[in-house]
Amino acid sequence: MAEQVLSRPGRRDPGRARGGSGGRPAAVPDGGPNGRFLRTLRRHLAAHGFLIGAVLCFAMFSWYPMIREIIMSFQQTHRDKITRQPKTTWAGLQNYTRIIHDPTFAQAWKNTVEFSLLALLIGFAVPFVTAIILNELRHARGYLRILVYLPVMLPPASALLLFQYFYDPNYGLFDHLLRMLHLPTSQFVQSSSSALVSVTVASTWMNMGGTTLIYLAALQNIPGELYEAAELDGAGILGRIRHVTIPQTRLILSMMLMLQIVGTMQLFIEPFILTNGGAGPNNSTVSVVNLIYQYAFNLSGSSNYNSASALGVLLMLVLGVFSAGYLWLSRDRD
């Protein structure tokens, strides 16, 4: 009787209704080759859409200005005598000859190189030492990290205006402290002998927070067993830093060294605000980028954009050669 009921037409086997033996669900059809093709096409279109957007942003805001700058450095713009409209002519190397014979050209490169060296002595060592001290502390670590990173969160103009007040020879904080300690006061940015050092100190204070946190992250990845082994071998604090800390952070140190040199060679905003225009006393703080600004906006004449472009191309070539040499040396070393 049970067999007759199960075999009666119109009654479906529950196992068969669920899609086969054992109650396993039936495979959902994938739409065949066309469905797989459409899914692959949508996935590739989304990926290439994001890629094309990034490439267009780079092309518009990075590559096009670079190519345009190179073209403008070989051109000269002047107004037509009849139509009074801007007219561009091919100038060859005239713009490069003009900026090389400018007396400020050599001074600007000298100041830029000196600032980079001072930044390496002050701005490269201070963040690394600060990161080592923060890594060794056991209490108030988070508060001290915020304190170190706080200058980075300030707008650069606000931070530099604060230092401009500190450097003021009449009511500045630094000279006031020197008077309280019965020490000789200084002119800071008002003196050609101390202006560049004062700019370096302000720049280091502004930018050391981010670099310190990068160093601190690298230090926390060093295995503690290495320090324990160095202590067992009788190494002191300086010995542990020399034989453990520096070798273990060599890659991050070399990368930050390259980035700092490239960044300091583009010095502009610090002397521009601290010395009211960037030149400083006797052109002691004029930099290459500041000279580009002067060519483009401060000097008279209609072809100064072309001279500024020529100087920008020279700076780009110097930084490009340095970056290529660094990458070549680091590749051989690794």
- Work out the angle at residue 296's Cα, subtended by the Cα atoms of residues 290 and 298, and round it to the nearest 5 degrees: 75
Report d(CA 111, CA 293) in Å as an integer.
16
| Residue whose pair of structure tokens reads 């940015």 in the numeric block | 189
Tell me, what's the pLDDT at 17? 45
What is the per-residue pLDDT across 233-252, written as a single tens digit (0 to 9) for each?
777 778 888 888 888 888 88
First to last CA, the chain: 83
Break the chain down into helix, strand, coil percent, rounded to 5. 70, 5, 25
Q: Which residue has the tokens 């610090």?
A: 270
* C-alpha to C-alpha distance for 237 and 257, rounded to whole angstroms: 24
3-class SS at 185?
coil
Q: Which two tokens stand for residue 170?
A: 């009449």
pTM, two decimals, is: 0.76
Q: What is the pLDDT of residues 194-232, one digit of tens each?
A: 888 889 888 888 888 888 888 888 888 888 888 888 888
Return the structure tokens found at 50: 């994001």
Question: pLDDT tens digits for 10-64?
Answer: 444 444 444 444 445 444 455 566 777 777 777 778 778 888 888 888 888 888 8
Helices (H), 9-154: 14-17, 32-58, 64-73, 94-100, 103-118, 125-136, 141-153
